[in-house]
Amino acid sequence: MTLFPSPLSVEYREGQVDLSIAFQLISPPFSTLRPSSVEGLTLSEAGIPIRFHHADLPQEGYAVTLAPQGIDVSSSEERGALNALRTLSSLAQEGHVRAQRITDAPGLAMRVFHLDLKDQMLSFDYILRLVDRLAALRYNALLVEYEDKFPYSTDIIPAHPERLTPDEISTLIEHSRERGIEVIPCVPTLGHLEFVLYHRPDLAETDARYQVCPLKAEALTLVKRMVDEVLSLHPSSRFFHVGGDETWYLGRCPECQQVAAREGVASLYGRFMREVLAHVLEQGRRPWIWADMVLAHPDALSYMPRDVIFVDWEYSYYGEEVDYVRNWGGGGIVPAERWEDFPPKFRARYEAYVRPEAASPWVKGFSYTRYLREAGYEVLTGSSVRSYGDPYTHPNWKVHLPNVVAAARVASEAKALGSVVTSWAIRRVLPELTMLGVTAGAGAMWRPEAADEAWLMSFPGQYGELFLGDSLLGWVAWELSSPGLGYDQAVPRERSSDGRYFRNRPWEERVQGSLGGYPNLSDKAVRELSRRIQVAYRALSVLERALEQGNDREEVRLYRLAAEEALLGAWAIRVGARWAQQPEDVTIRKVAQALREQLEALRSRCAREWASYLHPAALEREIRERFEDFERPLVE
């Protein structure tokens, strides 16, 4: 039996242990956690006895001794005991196992998953099921970005029809707590406030209504009210994430221009965020903040209280050593070979962390984590399983898998607090199709020293074997990975008057960047479309065979739909382009009609299958917008 995440050590002993019967808990240490929440664990007074003992072990760590006469579990606290039960539940799937002693403990203290509720709102039932799966993977924190789905007072924002209720939030917190997961609320407090500023444009820095003006006292008052309302429904949360990322509009309004000219942009950011962070600290919570803007404006670091925890997010780094540098202060991602072109102040500040070996062509991934740690701050690394560049249908695992593993390993090496696996809903991939990366992140955070390159390269097959019933299916998920061709440009990027996302450009304009012109496709676009069609055909062949053989797992069915979406979407562009060039061609017209019929049938199947994952209104919107893009090239 392959345990996941893999334990620190397994020592086999003489004898066999029958785990096919129920378990009996003897003097269990549980007060807040619920052992019955462990999937597959059957409890009975007539079951095999599990005796619990207190021992000086790491937090969440445990030791399990399985012998024919019973099972002994040692831990220092109840989370370790619950992890031991999860391991026993996995072993019980084998029925009879060898006598053994298992010792285990996590490599990172905080193993966080980011739940983003903007745009693609999930059904509440699925959110709870997702928590169950995260708990089984040993995540211990859930960072919830509510955005407009939080039940704010209606004078802050009008009530969103898909918002959570206070009772649902309480249920989520309790459901998570019983499984050893701490819910941490996240509220944007300077940028990413479109959902507020579309109703309060007077507080915006610019007409873009993206960021509040940091000089307006009423903006700070409103943000503090939002913080207070969210905290009131999270009475037990130790942490609170204040956002603070991507505030690119600093210094744009006339008043802010004057301050920036006198004191620098860093003062605008630092003073506003200092007030927000102090307010969170006054409520007895420890604040988190995205690190990018302090890295872009290093003088802002002097405004940050020592109790703040930075999240050093970077979604493009594909390893612990990479050949490019992220310059948050301007220039974006730059090849490492151009290091001498960076501003002298940038090089002086960061060179020891980015390029500790000046002669090497490689630079350190997540190098700013080390910088912030040496500056005296607690840090979490931040990776992603859904972010920029993903198509609608599936994540780009060739970027995301190395990213989540590198984030965990760097966090361990830098003695950081932990790591956050983010998942941005605006990218539209169904959350269930991100589980390959979510699981890789879990394994790497639990045993970062074991998640080396060989582990990473074999992981898709391991995931397929453990969770999809066939190692080949994990490689199908990997093979489907592809940069979005056409449809990444269709991601909605603007807000309507009520603060919701909408498509801000016509279809033809949105696909120009990816296709090199439409309907006159570039040679590169034609080759990529052909490759994607071939990959989708191969994936469909494997997935349909698995389904025919009785493998009816949810994820297998969803990947089958994703492969068909990728296939028909690529064909629609190819056929649509030909049709636009030859509108009188009867054969092309018939092919286009056949594709429309196949897309309509796929639309119906997706609506049925996705209903258990998405809020009903979000489902209707997702189906409509996604298939409008798929069908658009085939409309006369």
Q: What is the pLDDT of residues 458-517, one digit of tens each?
A: 999 999 999 999 999 999 999 887 554 434 433 444 444 444 444 445 555 555 555 556
pLDDT tens for 13-27 read 999 999 988 899 999
Q: How far apart, in whole angstroms, are the C-alpha atoms of residue 395 and residue 401?
A: 10
Q: What is the DSSP letter of 198?
A: T
pLDDT for the residue numbered 517: 65
Q: Spot the catalytic one: 246, 275, 508, 609.
A: 246
Spell out the alpha helix ranges (H) of 283-343.
292-296
As a 3-state breakdown, the chain gives helix, strand, coil percent values, each rounded to 5, of 50, 15, 35
Q: How many CA atoms does the CB half-sphere of 591 hold within 13 Å?
A: 18
Instruction: Evaluate whether 546 touches 470 at the Cβ level (below 8 Å).
Output: yes
pLDDT for the residue numbered 512: 53
Among 82, 99, 94, smallest CA distance to 11 is for: 99
Residue 212: both structure tokens together? 């509040």
Instruction: Evaluate whether 143 touches 113 at the Cβ level (below 8 Å).
Output: yes
- Which residues, given as ranges, of the chain have pLDDT below 50? 484-504
Q: How far apart, in whole angstroms, are the C-alpha atoms of residue 43 and residue 52?
A: 15
pLDDT for the residue numbered 514: 55
CA 595 to chain centre: 33
- Would you tell me how many other CB atoms lie within 10 Å of the CB of residue 361? 12
pTM, 2 dp: 0.95
Q: Is 246 a catalytic residue?
A: yes
pLDDT tens for 535-573 read 999 999 999 999 999 999 999 999 999 999 989 988 998
Beta bridge partners of 24: 49
Domains, the chain, ordered by start: 9-104 (3.30.379.10), 110-320+365-459 (3.20.20.80), 321-364 (no CATH), 488-634 (no CATH)
Residue 425: both structure tokens together? 């809903």
| Cβ neighbours of residue 246 closer than 8 Å, sequence gap 6 or more | 191, 192, 290, 292, 293
Instruction: For residue 88, give the H/E element and its range.
Output: helix 78-92
Q: Which residue has the tokens 């690529």?
A: 570
pLDDT for the residue numbered 489: 37
